[in-house]
Amino acid sequence: MLFGKGFGVRILFINEIATREMVKFELFWLELLVNMGILGFISYVYIILKNLFVGLKSCRKLNLREATHVKSIIIGLLMLCIISSVNPFLNNPIGLGYLVIVMTSINAFYKKSIAS
């Protein structure tokens, strides 16, 4: 469980009524734990939390317009995490693309806040 079972693993749910075998299921965070293990889960959470804290830290030194932009990006990232709890949104190209956009935007605003 530390490293996970890998992508494409089949999970078998055994119930009194029937059994069900699944490869893909809707709970992204649970799927992440099964596929990538605790280390993968911790690395996803680290990436998200680091962007949240660095974004909030850079908001203090930015002007109002740029701080509002960073806060809206952070709210979008939080909503992405909430949506991913019922739909595997972070596990597809749209969610990963948004995560990359968030990371680069917050990094650029953080460098700008350090320079000023």
The residues spanned by each domain of the chain are 11-115
54 vs 9, residue with greater confidence: 54
Position 85 scores a pLDDT of 85
**pLDDT of 49 above 90:** yes
85 vs 69, residue with greater confidence: 69
Share the mean pLDDT of the chain. Answer: 88
| 3-state secondary structure string across 55-89 | HHHHHCCCCHHHHHHHHHHHHHHHHHHHHCCCCCC
pLDDT band for position 64 (cuts 50, 70, 90) = very high
Position 106 scores a pLDDT of 96
Question: What is the maximum span of the chain, computed from C-alpha positions, in angstroms?
Answer: 64
Q: What is the pTM of this model?
A: 0.80
Position 74 scores a pLDDT of 96
With 0-12 / 13-18 / 19 or more C-beta atoms within 10 angstroms meaning exposed / middle / buried, residue 55 is buried
**pLDDT of 25 above 80:** no
Q: Quick check: 52 and 61 in contact, CB under 8 A?
A: no
